[in-house]
Amino acid sequence: MAAHVNGTAMMPALTGMFTAGRSAVTVASMLVTLWILSPVMALVVTAAGVPALLARLALSRRRSRMVADFAATARRQSLYSSLITDVRAAKEVRLLGLGDFLKGRLFGELRATQTAERGLDRRGALIQSGLSGLGAIVAGAGLVWAVHSAATGGLSLGDVTAFVAAVAGTQGAMAGLVDSLAIGHEALLFFEYHADIVSLPDDLPVTTSGELPVLRQGIELRDVWFRYDESLPWVLRGVNLTIPYGTAVAIVGLNGAGKSTLVKLLCRFYDPTHGSIRWDGVDIREVPPARLRETDGCPFPGLHVVRLDRGGEHWDR
């Protein structure tokens, strides 16, 4: 699975590199034609491609940094959008009057992202205008030289026609090569972020030695405290609870009381900040998370937990 994900993430870079190779062949063939007619012009056109390449690579780095810097903003924007439009959240949004609040947050994140994108687009437009002007100057200077050479008998009319076509073709092929290299470079930068993310260590301590016995007695929560971040309030405070094997347990409470959090802790999506959760006396932190969750999507065979919301809706966990 990881190999498939990495291959998919590398596809834009590979596509850019293949396109760059094809463009390089075209540039080389055009330069040979141009070199026969005017070695100096061939060198000038090649030299003019260097600042274009450097400018496009700089823009790629800026764009990748912008995407990385605004990744959290984009996630929040997506969250607020889904909360406003998802029917599953409509009840809470209407009940608590959160519509205007969420729209304000959504538009605020959207404005921040669009402001950064507009700034980058303006910079890109200015750079592209400058590069286009440079290309026009080079082509114009070459045309003046060709006309002068034809007037003095250095080039024939056919040579002038071939020269103009060679300059235009070389510049076009050079632009394609620069674009391909920039696209490949940008894709590699994004892949570097991808590689950094997938190589992050597991945020849960992983052990390979713990064994999970067949549940016979039940699950016990011993003085469990939990909060999602040190800057946030406690969600669970000193919870002591025994869930006997083979019984149905209903978790009832207001929205935000910690019902879903309790189930997430049982599945070991998080570990308690304090206290422990024990499976027939075994602390589940001593068991690999994959082993804990491997039984048909339910980590607790024989244990039936029903979550009840204030509105009376429920679903099995």
DSSP-assigned beta bridge partners for residue 306: 250, 316
Round to whole Å and give the CA distance between 191 and 183: 12
Do the Cβ atoms of 311 and 253 come closer than 8 Å?
no
Q: Return the pLDDT at 222.
A: 92
Give the lowest-confidence range in 10-14, 70-74, 300-304: 300-304
Q: How far is CA 97 from CA 59, 90, 102, 277, 282, in A?
A: 43, 10, 10, 37, 44
The CATH code of the domain at 2-198 is: 1.20.1560.10
Listed by start position, the domains of the chain span 2-198, 218-316
Strand order in the sheet with 274-279: 236-244, 218-226, 274-279, 282-283
Encode pLDDT of 107-121 as tens digits.
Answer: 888 888 888 888 888
Q: What is the mean pLDDT of residues 207-211?
A: 65
DSSP-assigned beta bridge partners for residue 278: 220, 283
Round to whole Å and give the CA distance between 293 and 306: 18
111-115, 211-215, 303-307: range with highest mean pLDDT: 111-115
CATH topology of domain 218-316: Rossmann fold (3.40.50)
Encode pLDDT of 44-54 as tens digits.
Answer: 888 888 888 88
Question: DSSP secondary-structure letter at 270?
Answer: S
Do the Cβ atoms of 294 and 208 come closer than 8 Å?
no
Average pLDDT of the chain, as a whole number: 79
In the three-class reduction of DSSP (H, G, I as helix; E, B as strand; rest coil), residue 317 is classed as coil
DSSP-assigned beta bridge partners for residue 282: 279
Please say if the pLDDT value at position 138 is more than 70: yes
Q: What is the mean pLDDT of residues 237-251?
A: 86
Q: Return the pLDDT at 300.
A: 53
State how beta strands 304-308 and 248-252 pair: parallel
